[in-house]
Each structure stands twice: as structure tokens, then as C-alpha cells.
Amino acid sequence: MAEGPKRSLAALGWNQPFEQALAALGSPGLVPARVAAQYTHLYRVWTEDADLLGSMVGRFRVEAESPADYPVVGDWVAVAEKEMERLRHGRSALDDYGAHDPVEFLGVAVEAFFEIPQVVRRRHRELYALLRGYFNQDPAEEDDARGLEE
């Protein structure tokens, strides 16, 4: 995770109604973040402590009816720092160099996606699904078809 300058969420526009909306989600471990930049399938978000790269996953992607449902720059989102947290605590198949910065994390994740795809698919299902969709490739399936094993 790229440690960013310590910033006040209030200075970014966080207030009591947003706090109540986050609490209503009922998911401990979610962190409020402001969308700072939007890329294809990825977002740069600011939390109180860090600048992160993220994507929309899970139920949100299934329930979104159109691109208009996705966040845009300036929106508030709730983020789960699951993959970066796993990496920082040694519970990841990815190279720990990716914990230094979100850009490095992305590079490390893409490298693992293509070099050890079966491992990434098994140990990091959401990340694998995100990269499979982004690149429109399924390298683990290709390795399976060739009879290669982890």
C-alpha cells in the first residue's frame, strides 16, 4: 500500500450521513474512500491513510445495471483492502514487493496472473477474475488444457 499523506476525511467531504451509510452496510473492515481517478476497470481512491488502486467486485458487479451505476471521480466508496492486507501479512502468493505501492501491486499482480495463473486463480479468486476480465484472457484455463499443474 502506498502510504499517502495523512489526510482528514472531513477535508475530503466525509460527513455524518456518509458515516451512517457506511455503517448500514454492516460489513466490518470496510474503509471509506474518495474516488480520485477512474481508469478502465480500475480506480485510484484516497483513504485517510493511503492512496490505493481498486476495482468493483462481487455483488456490485452483478447488480449494476449500466455503466452509470459505477462510481466516478468524487464519489465515496467503501473499500476492503483484502489483497494488500494479505500481502502485507505474508498470506499471499504474490511477490511482497507489491506491498510498497499500488502501482507496484498492480505490476506484481499482472506478472503473477501470467506466470503462475493457476496459483493466482486458486488463492486470489477475485483478483484473478478481475484480471481475466480486464485482459480478456484465462491463462490458468490454458495451462489446464495443456495439462500443466501448479
- Characterise 39 by phi-psi region: left (phi > 0), alpha (psi -120 to 50), beta (else): beta
Q: How confident is the model at residue 4 (pLDDT cuts 50, 70, 90)?
A: low
84: Cβ contacts below 8 Å, ≥ 6 apart: 1, 52, 99, 102, 105
Mean pLDDT check: name the lowest of 9-13, 81-85, 99-103, 117-121.
99-103
Q: CB-based burial of residue 54 (10 Å sphere; 0-12 exposed, 13-18 middle, 19+ buried)?
A: buried
CA distance 96 to 80: 19
| Average pLDDT score, the chain | 84
pLDDT (mean) for 128-133? 82
Q: What is the pLDDT of residue 57?
A: 67
Q: Are the beta carbons of 52 and 81 closer than 8 angstroms?
A: yes
At 60-86, the pLDDT tens digits run 777 888 888 888 999 888 876 777 778
C-beta neighbour count of 44 within 10 angstroms: 19
pTM tops 0.75: no
Q: Are the beta carbons of 86 and 92 closer than 8 angstroms?
A: yes
